Structure 1
Amino acid sequence: MQVNSEQIPATETDRPLGSTPNGGAGTASTVAAAVGLRSSDAEKAAALRRMKSVALALLIVMAVVFTVAFALQKQYPWLEYVRAAAEGGMVGALADWFAVTALFKYPMGLKIPHTAIIPRRKDQIGASLGEFVETNFLSEQVVQEKLASVDIARKAGRWLATPSGSERVAKEGSALIRGAFTVLNDDDVQAVIEGMVRKHLLTPPWGPPVGRMAERIFAEGHHHKLVDLLVDRAADWVDANHSTVNRLVSDRSPLWVPSFVDDIVGDRVYNELAKFVRAVQRDLEHQVRRSIDTYLNDLAQDLQHDPAMIERAESIKAQILGDPEVRELASRTWGTIKNALLTAVDDPRSELSLRFTSAVRDFGSRLVNDDELAGKVNTWIGDAAGYLVKTYRSEIAGVITDTVARWDAEETSQKIELQVGKDLQYIRINGTVVGSLAGLLIFTVAHLVFG
């Protein structure tokens, strides 16, 4: 008695690899392409088909043995034991064939209740699988414990500390920067920069912050070096311009004054001016210096508290940074930054690229050698992963449910059978063997008891 292990119309995965649906010759890749399989899946399909053939061959062997033993058992009584074993083997093989087939399709095309389980309950299986993954795997504690045992920080550090690792990061960073500049619109970026300049530089009044900064500078005496410089330059000018002072005095004296009088007055004025400047230069507590200090301190206070002075500062700000100037500043700023970065990232030997690569390598070395830093990084990674899992676990698990829900029922059955079907065929083989032994044992016991 011959029994087909499937007894239903063959699906794509049931046909032997190497044959086409219409029976013509073909390749395994052709069949795989027909059912949308990858090359690795095609290999699994071939292995599944081989195991089905083995299970079917074993059933056929049992059927042949049963037929022969049944026909000759009267002539050779010992064949009754062989018949019982073969009979049990066939029963076991058929029962397990039914059980395995019922998972994926209707046995022999008959819509028997509780068969074709996977095609009929595909959505429920997907939902259950998603719930199982969410409950048992997408747990904040499970993820954090796993990440802690992996020690990602040191593993990443060892890779970053290698030349290939740091150069790879630098290369990817360069590609990211180039991609960002490609996507960004220059006008939009300039508008953002202009908006930031207006918000943080132009909108706030200049007077009070400038006054506070000036007050601190003057209080700490940082302006004295500038005053010294101005006095020194004034003394140098006086030393080099004796004739200029005389000419100024002569030009401003009446025409009726004799020239020698102009020279005398000019010399006197020059000498007094030189003595005055030298006195200011030598005496750090000179009245002029104190007057300058007083003026500057008053100016700092006025910039903070005098409405008229604050208004003057705002007027100066408006004259310096009007609309055209702000737009030009934004344009120049963005253009400079963009050109500098693009030039740097396009040249792997540029100062920026070399420094970035070196910084990545140094950071990797610190992750390997600095226990405290590695612990902090591992904690950050664990906390971030835990937060993502805790917040989005349902959405992550929903990918499984939604993916299975989108699958066609027959396609789902084929995919699952492709992954586990080979192992399930061992159930059929084991059922044949166990059935044979059980049949032999039952017949032997019955023969001995009831003789």
Structure 2
Amino acid sequence: MARTPIELLSPADQERRRALSRMKTIALGALIAMAVLFCIGFVLQERYPAWGYLRAAGEGGMVGALADWFAVTALFRRPMGLPIPHTAIIPNRKDEIGRTLGEFVETNFLAGDVVRQKLDTTPIAARLGAWLREEPNAQRVGSELSTAAAGILRALSDDDVQDLISDLARRHLIDQDWATPAGTWLGRIVETDAQRPAVDLAADTIANWLSSNHAAFQGLISRRLPGWVPKLAHRFVDDTAYNEAVKFVDAVREDPNHPARHAIDGYLARLADNLQHDPTTRAKLEGAKSGVFDSPKVRQLASDAWQTVKTGLITALEDEDSALRARINAALADIGARLADDASLQRRVDGWVTNAAVFLVDRYRHDIASIITDTVERWDASETTEKIELMVGRDLQYIRLNGTVVGALAGVTIFAVAHAAVQLFG
């Protein structure tokens, strides 16, 4: 199996590889030590029988070390490259290991009751509130939200937004019937006499205009008189028209039952009825509506308005000192304070989060667990083997050391029992 060059590994994996190499060297050294002891004991046991114990210890240690070396090596590769059955387990069964791991996580971790039990004991809202109420944290969240919002605004297609606005305008403005609701609304206004303040306002406005625009009446009527009429008569006619207009408006303002008011009321009542029942009036309103909202100028106005709003929002979102950013940060800090102090709100938020998490886990736990399975299946077998070996290989080398020690002790024990049996029954 080709090893990844150490410079391509992460710093943590580089340290793991160095630790693994050290442990392999120690385990190999223990095997060599057992071999040396075996050789010494084997040579000297004929002359000095007690050295047989040393030979037995070395022999048992070598057997234990070699057996555990084979077992550990067989997990990751074929020992000595030999095609021995049931070796190189991890690279040969990588996909099955991924499926098993995914099933294990799905069964034991992505279960609704497990998630609910954990979240029920976690004060999510209180912790979030305590963190969010701190101004630096609120500013950090506000900055991230503003960056995301600005990115979304930039990513939006102006043509798509304009089409959406046009579709919404057509659906809710152009295609909707305005005549019937407008007639109904106007009829209710007349029935409740709610139009009187509007009439009063109109009369007051006209009166104020008349008092400030006497000159506007100069020549208004007199210019239509024959040329032989004296100029003094011209002025008299214009002043008379002005004074009559002022008197008429003042009379309307002062008399709640003035005929002009009744005429306006009657006109509004007829208009309300026509808007609901007269096809001609209804058609005129619909035509005027379509002429306004289907006008290219209106569509251009909507486009310009969107560009203005978009540019303004992006500028405000990107400016840390803008009023919008300040309000966002203040709102987040206020939310954090409420979450930290309001026990009732904490319970509601914790309940919402828990229910949402349980719903997502119950509904999508297989899809979530499949991420593990799919990811492991995409991994290269050699790379996967190396990653796993770096993670657990150092600990597995202790098995080789333990096997060496246990083998040596077992060898001595077996030799001692056998020697005692020979002495007793020989």
Instruction: Name the TM-score, length of structure 2 as normaliser.
Output: 0.87
Q: Against the structure 1 CA distance between its residues 280 and 402, is the aligned structure 2 distance closer, same or farther, given a 3 Å change threshold?
A: closer
Unaligned regions of 5+ residues in structure 2, if any? none
- CA–CA distance in structure 1, aligned partners of residues 334 and 6 of structure 2: 49
- Would you say 1:38 and 2:6 are equivalent positions? no
- The aligned counterpart of 2:56 is 84
- The aligned counterpart of 1:175 is 147
- Would you say 1:204 and 2:176 are equivalent positions? yes
Alpha-carbon contact 1:194-1:326 (below 8 Å) kept: no
Q: Against the structure 1 CA distance between its residues 447 and 316, is the aligned structure 2 distance closer, same or farther, given a 3 Å change threshold?
A: same
Q: Against the structure 1 CA distance between its residues 356 and 270, is the aligned structure 2 distance closer, same or farther, given a 3 Å change threshold?
A: closer
- The aligned counterpart of 2:329 is 357
Alpha-carbon contact 1:157-1:366 (below 8 Å) kept: yes
1:311-330 alignment, distance < 5 Å: 311-330=283-302
- CA–CA distance in structure 2, aligned partners of residues 243 and 127 of structure 1: 94
Q: 246, 251, 275: which one pairs with 1:303?
A: 275
Offset at 1:429? 0.8
Name whichever of 287-296 and 436-445 sits farther off: 287-296
Q: Against the structure 1 CA distance between its residues 270 and 69, is the aligned structure 2 distance closer, same or farther, given a 3 Å change threshold?
A: closer
The one-character-per-residue Cα deviations of 1:170-189 (angstroms, maximum 9, x if unpaired) are 22222223322332232232
Q: 54, 71, 74: which one pairs with 2:26?
A: 54
Q: Against the structure 1 CA distance between its residues 359 and 271, is the aligned structure 2 distance closer, same or farther, given a 3 Å change threshold?
A: closer
Q: 310, 328, 344: which one pairs with 1:338?
A: 310
Q: Against the structure 1 CA distance between its residues 415 and 267, is the aligned structure 2 distance closer, same or farther, given a 3 Å change threshold?
A: closer
Q: Output the amino acid matched with 1:195.
A: D
Alpha-carbon contact 1:119-1:412 (below 8 Å) kept: yes
Offset at 1:279? 4.4
- The aligned counterpart of 1:424 is 396
Partner secondary structure for residue 380 of structure 1:
helix
Q: Against the structure 1 CA distance between its residues 442 and 305, is the aligned structure 2 distance closer, same or farther, given a 3 Å change threshold?
A: same
Q: Output the amino acid matched with 2:5.
A: V
- The aligned counterpart of 1:366 is 338
- CA–CA distance in structure 1, aligned partners of residues 5 and 221 of structure 2: 111
- The aligned counterpart of 1:4 is none
- CA–CA distance in structure 2, aligned partners of residues 291 and 283 of structure 1: 13
Alpha-carbon contact 1:12-1:31 (below 8 Å) kept: no
- CA–CA distance in structure 2, aligned partners of residues 63 and 44 of structure 1: 29
Q: Output the amino acid matched with 2:395.
A: D
The one-character-per-residue Cα deviations of 1:42-78 (angstroms, maximum 9, x if unpaired) are 1111111111111111111111111111211232222
Q: Against the structure 1 CA distance between its residues 165 and 304, is the aligned structure 2 distance closer, same or farther, given a 3 Å change threshold?
A: farther
- Would you say 1:131 and 2:103 are equivalent positions? yes
Partner secondary structure for residue 107 of structure 2:
helix
- Would you say 1:158 and 2:130 are equivalent positions? yes
Q: Output the amino acid matched with 1:37.
A: L
- CA–CA distance in structure 2, aligned partners of residues 74 and 290 of structure 1: 139
- The aligned counterpart of 2:167 is 195
Offset at 1:422? 0.8
- CA–CA distance in structure 2, aligned partners of residues 104 and 269 of structure 1: 110
- CA–CA distance in structure 1, aligned partners of residues 173 and 155 of structure 2: 28
Partner secondary structure for residue 150 of structure 1:
coil
Q: Against the structure 1 CA distance between its residues 268 and 89, is the aligned structure 2 distance closer, same or farther, given a 3 Å change threshold?
A: closer
Taking only the aligned residue pairs, the percentage that are identical comes to 50
Offset at 1:259? 11
Name whichever of 314-323 and 333-342 sits farther off: 314-323
Q: Against the structure 1 CA distance between its residues 213 and 358, is the aligned structure 2 distance closer, same or farther, given a 3 Å change threshold?
A: farther
- CA–CA distance in structure 2, aligned partners of residues 401 and 263 of structure 1: 99
Offset at 1:300? 2.2
Offset at 1:257? 11
- The aligned counterpart of 1:26 is none
- CA–CA distance in structure 2, aligned partners of residues 190 and 206 of structure 1: 23
Offset at 1:337? 1.0
- Flag the structure with more relative contact order, 1 or 2, with Cα contacts below 8 A and sequence separation at least 6: 2
Offset at 1:408? 2.9
- The aligned counterpart of 2:204 is 232
Name whichever of 229-238 and 321-330 sits farther off: 229-238
Q: Output the amino acid matched with 2:102.
A: G
Instruction: Name the TM-score, length of structure 1 as normaliser.
Output: 0.82
Partner secondary structure for residue 123 of structure 1:
helix
Q: Output the amino acid matched with 1:325.
A: K
- CA–CA distance in structure 1, aligned partners of residues 263 and 349 of structure 2: 58
- CA–CA distance in structure 1, aligned partners of residues 403 and 208 of structure 2: 114
Alpha-carbon contact 1:126-1:400 (below 8 Å) kept: yes
Alpha-carbon contact 1:138-1:393 (below 8 Å) kept: yes
Q: Output the amino acid matched with 2:160.
A: D
Name whichever of 132-141 and 269-278 sits farther off: 269-278
- The aligned counterpart of 1:75 is 47
Q: Output the amino acid matched with 2:328.
A: F
- Would you say 1:399 and 2:371 are equivalent positions? yes
Q: Output the amino acid matched with 2:388.
A: I
CA RMSD between the two structures: 3.4
Alpha-carbon contact 2:2-2:382 (below 8 Å) kept: no
The one-character-per-residue Cα deviations of 1:280-312 (angstroms, maximum 9, x if unpaired) are 333324444344333323322322232222112
The one-character-per-residue Cα deviations of 1:117-162 (angstroms, maximum 9, x if unpaired) are 2222222112111111121122233233333333332322222222
Alpha-carbon contact 1:161-1:361 (below 8 Å) kept: yes
Alpha-carbon contact 2:147-2:318 (below 8 Å) kept: no
Offset at 1:102? 1.5
- CA–CA distance in structure 2, aligned partners of residues 334 and 302 of structure 1: 37
